Amino acid sequence: MGKVRFDISMSLDGFVAGPNDGPGNGLGDGGEALHEWIVETESFQRHHGRQGGETGVESDLLDEAFEGVGAIVMGRRMFDNAEEPWGDEPPFRVPVFVVTHRGREPLAKQGGTTFHFVTDGVEAALEQAREAAGDGDVAIGGGASVIQQLLAAGAVDEFQVHIAPLFLGSGVRLFADGEMLAGALEQTRVIDSPGATHLKYTVS
């Protein structure tokens, strides 16, 4: 069985989206700056079906986030915010399990991404993702709420936080007050790149 893991970009003050996030403003006010280290990379271009982009450590890090992933779990808010910019061919190319209160039929996109809508909670979505992933890893796509719930449930094996050198001041916190982790953290790798600092942890 693969690992359960996530990769997410966070501001130094702890936000993964700025205020007022929603469809058309998926990362909230100012939140696009969180992904500045990503968008020019060759990996980002390739995963979005385009050519070009910069190779190097940041491109390699993004490749690593995709590699070996057999299925994805994500929250409904993230799906709603990003469905339009992802377009007809989202970059995932694996089954994606969306945690939602509103059931709907699976939504198959081009390139291998099919969105499945799971109405019985985040742990049920994780279970379905594990099955779909087989020996592959399950990536938690976000947002913060799904990540917090799975951390608290002790379901996460490892994760990487990409700290962008900026303050957002408000928005969606990755680690909100009162959230507790089941297990202890071990820092396993630190990479410093021009656009961010990449901190990797395992949960034991």
Binding site for a copy of itself (CB under 8 A): 12-14, 161, 163, 165-167, 169-170, 173-175, 177-181, 184-187, 189-190, 192, 196-197, 199, 201
Fill in the amino acid letter for 55.
T
Residue 14 or 68: which CB sits closer to a copy of itself?
14
The answer to whether the CB of 130 falls within 8 A of the CB of 138 is yes
Tell me the C-alpha distance between 129 and 139, whole Å. 9
| Least distance to a copy of itself, CB of residue 38, Å | 16
Nearest residue to 66 via CA among 86, 85, 48: 48
Residue 32 or 179: which CB sits closer to a copy of itself?
179
The answer to whether the CB of 23 falls within 8 A of the CB of 80 is yes
Determine the 3-state secondary structure of 111 from DSSP: helix
Residue 71 or 172: which CB sits closer to a copy of itself?
172
Tell me the C-alpha distance between 124 and 23, whole Å. 26
Q: Give the β-pairing of 137-142 and 69-75.
A: parallel
Residue 25 or 197: which CB sits closer to a copy of itself?
197
Q: Which two tokens stand for residue 118?
A: 């799971």
| Least distance to a copy of itself, CB of residue 101, Å | 27
| Least distance to a copy of itself, CB of residue 111, Å | 34
Residue 58 or 116: which CB sits closer to a copy of itself?
58
Q: What is the 3-state secondary structure (H, E, C) of 28-71?
A: CCCHHHHHHHHHCEHHHHHHCCCCCCECCHHHHHHHHHHCCEEE
CA 34 to mean position of chain CA atoms: 13
| Least distance to a copy of itself, CB of residue 16, Å | 12
| Least distance to a copy of itself, CB of residue 196, Å | 8
Residue 59 or 160: which CB sits closer to a copy of itself?
160
| Least distance to a copy of itself, CB of residue 23, Å | 24
